[in-house]
Chain A
Amino acid sequence: MPSKYLDSFKERHKDEIPSTELDKRLLELSALFEISQTLNSTLNLKTILDNILFVPMGRMMINKGLILFQHDDHQFKIENIKGLPLNLIHKEIHITSLPDHPVFLKDYQTDEDWIDFFRNFKIELLIPLISQRDFRGLIGFSGKLTAQPFDDDEINFLSSLAHLAVQAIENARTFERLNAVNRQLDHRVQELNTLFEIGAELNQIFDPQKVLKQLSYSLMGQLLINQFFVMLKDEEGFKIAYQKGLLFKEENLEKCRPLCESLPEIPEPVVLNEEDTYPELYELGVRLIVPMRIQNRVGGFIFLGEKVDKHEYTRSNIHFLSTLANMAMISLENARLIQETIEKERIEEELYLAQDIQRRLLPTSMPELDGYYIDGLNIPSKQVGGDFFDIIHLQDNEYLLTIADVSGKGMPAALLVSNLQAGIHSLLDSDLPLNEMTFRLNNLIHKNTNIEKYITFFILRINLDDGTFSYVNGGHNPPYIFSKKKEERTLEKGGLILGMMPNVSYELGRDQLLPGECLVMFTDGVTEAMDEQEHEFEEKGLIELVKPVINSKDSQEINQMIIDAIKEFSSNPVESDDITLLTINRIS
């Protein structure tokens, strides 16, 4: 096409211009026309640059050429080279003043670095690329292989070429930028999709390990990371919650754990570099720390190593990670709260069961005794303290009374009480003296429990005909006998608490409950009840309270009076320990 047009042009004007001159002009025009077509038919920057260099090189037999773009004040970067060492690509050169028209290097009088640089590579001619907007560049060519100088026409040709080139380069650069923006947008959409997806998924997960796993998949996939670990904070401090990659070995992490403790609560992600304030972490391979925030506090940190593609973390990456970290933290916190609720419900259920067991082990009604009042009372604490009492009719007018306090609380205590009660009942038939019976109970309890479990135990066998009784006190608070005429006396004979060591022998105590006397058995919930100043109720309180009323009140009234007094003394007497009383008074 163009040649046809040019041929006819030549035909029409052959008389006006000398033929050789015309030929040359036409050839130049055709070349410019051709290159303008090529340049405008592509948006590929490399193709454009290749053409800008190759066309003149071919036409004028030039063997070296290069193109530079300005990217900062006087900084220029080599974008394309022909006939020059490949390592020049992307090299940066400081050009103090960009010429505004084609210049020969030989015309420069100074010895600036950039001029020397071009001279070193045999570049002779520089043609500026100047757009009406802000693009600036430079084309450089070596001399011709023919060693002929460039004539004016050639310089004009190259100038025209540069004009055409600028527009094409600008278009291509805009297109490249647009592509980059598009890709960035795609990336952002992908990030948002990932966050959306993990958000939906995390809502369904209540297992902390699974939450961390989801976090791990998303950050590995989205950011090309496979070296990271997560530290989460609980009541005792930071713990390694998740670890991925061979870089962060467990022993190294253990070493860095105290370091994490000393990390101030950084509110925003921190990129580490060599001069940073966390050289130990950098040494370990950590390049980025992302706090996991929940409501204004930091619940943990994600420590990330280098990305697999060695690229730096971009602002968008860090933003993504931060969002992901916070989402995971909320999910972890939810998981923890749910676990806590479940645990609390389990404990409440267990306490309820323990209370139920304990209640079933206590007598449901008090026997009517001829010439005696008897009353037992148990107020269980919230935590189920393991108090126990029993009244068992043996034969004729003989009764077995027992009171005990088992160590520990809750279900374990309830089970031990149950064990003790079963032991007592199984030994009833053998009609053993109480010290022998206690000897066996001790061995039984010792065998069935570990060393931390023990029972303070008091057992008494009374003959109601004359009030005589035998008893054994296994480390229990000594019961009191209150008497109108005499000093009150305590029942202390016996031996060690039950369950501490095997084959302990017990001393049998004997006494008699006389008419008008009152025997009060109790557990430490009575005497250790505390007032607000943390003073205990003590035995003294009990004596002062009961002694004056032993002949005017029956045992039930006495028990109620003691309870009332304790309630008045202590604001919350059964918060931690059971209160148990077993009182028998002989009517005068």
Chain B
Amino acid sequence: MSGFSVSRNDDANISKLYLSGFLDAHTVPKFEEALQSCLNDEQYNIIVNLKDLDYISSAGLGVFMGFIEEIRESGGDIKLTNLSNKVHKVFDLLGFPALFEIYDNENEANQKFTSG
């Protein structure tokens, strides 16, 4: 079973989550916990950096879907950065680019948060 880990780094009013490894049905609870901890700390501006994410399954995308409504209701957003081609393909296939902002790097996402 391949591993998955998530680390968090808060920068002013933006929380950054770094995912690495395999995000699938088995490992989604970890990611869910991480997002929930952001919400518990009332951090609603969240950048999820997928640079080191090797694989994402539909269940992994499900976590994004499960949180986005509450986060946007609270005036925040989840922005995604640094998607590998393989990961981007899954996002694209399931129609996520229409619902989530996806950026090449953290700086762009950061600017969106600070200017928006």
Contacts and interface: CB of A to CB of B under 8 A. Distances in A.
Contacts of B57: 193-194, 197, 221
Contacts of A214: 25, 59
B61 interface: yes
Contacts of A201: 25-26, 59
A496 B93 CA distance: 78
B98 interface: yes
A334 to B, nearest CB: 17
B59 A224 contact: no
Interface in B43-101: 57-66, 68-70, 73, 89-90, 93-96, 98-99
A289 to B, nearest CB: 20
Contacts of A220: 61-63, 65-66
A492 B60 CA distance: 75
Contacts of B89: 186
Given A224-B65, A224-B99, A217 B94 contact: no
Contacts of A197: 24-26, 57-59
Nearest to A247: B69
A39 B66 CA distance: 46
A187 B90 CA distance: 9
Contacts of A194: 57-59
A217 B25 contact: yes
Given A190-B90, A309-B98, A221 B26 contact: no
B28 interface: yes
Interface in A220-270: 220-222, 224-226, 244-246
A219 interface: yes
Contacts, number: 85
B65 A218 contact: no
Given A222-B58, A309-B98, A217 B93 contact: no
B69 A226 contact: yes
Interface string A202-223: 0000000000011011111110
Contact of A221 (B29, B62, B73): B62
Contact of B68 (A191, A217, A226): A226
Given A197-B24, A224-B99, A308-B99, A217 B69 contact: no
Interface in A161-201: 183, 186-187, 190-191, 193-194, 197-198, 200-201
Nearest to B63: A217
A198 B69 CA distance: 24
A410 B96 CA distance: 58
Contacts of B73: 246
A246 B69 contact: yes
Nearest to B25: A201
Contacts of A308: 65, 99
A95 to B, nearest CB: 34
A186 B89 CA distance: 10
Contacts of A198: 25, 59
Contacts of A187: 93-94
Contact of A222 (B28, B68, B94, B98): B94
A190 B93 contact: yes
A245 B68 CA distance: 10
A229 to B, nearest CB: 13
Contacts of B69: 226, 245-246
A221 B59 contact: yes
Contacts of A191: 58
B25 A218 contact: yes
B13 to A, nearest CB: 24
Contact of A244 (B25, B64, B66): B66
Contacts of B25: 197-198, 200-201, 214, 217-218
Nearest to B67: A226
A217 B98 contact: no
A26 B24 CA distance: 64
Contact of B65 (A186, A213, A221): A221
B96 to A, nearest CB: 8
Interface in B23-49: 24-26, 28-29
A191 B28 CA distance: 17
A316 to B, nearest CB: 13
A216 B28 CA distance: 11
Nearest to B61: A221
A201 B23 CA distance: 13
A84 to B, nearest CB: 28
Given A194-B57, A222-B62, A217 B28 contact: yes
A221 B62 CA distance: 3
Nearest to A224: B95
A246 B61 CA distance: 19
B58 to A, nearest CB: 4
A201 to B, nearest CB: 4
B62 A219 contact: yes
Contact of A218 (B59, B96, B99): B59
B65 A190 contact: no
A197 B96 CA distance: 20
B101 to A, nearest CB: 14
Contact of B93 (A183, A200, A226, A311): A183
Contacts of B28: 217
Contacts of A311: 95
Q: Which among B24, B60, B64, B99 has the highest number of chain A CB atoms within 10 Å?
A: B24
Nearest to B73: A246
Given A226-B69, A244-B66, A245-B69, A193 B95 contact: no
Contact of B58 (A193, A244, A245): A193
Interface string A311-347: 1000000000000000000000000000000000000
B74 to A, nearest CB: 12
A246 B71 CA distance: 12
Contact of B62 (A183, A193, A218): A218
A221 B93 contact: no
A190 B58 contact: yes
6 contacts: A197-B59, A217-B62, A218-B59, A221-B60, A221-B64, A222-B58
Question: Top 3 A-B pairs ranked by shortest CB distance?
Answer: A221-B62, A221-B61, A217-B62
Given A183-B93, A197-B57, A309-B95, 5 more contacts: A197-B25, A197-B58, A246-B69, A246-B70, A309-B98
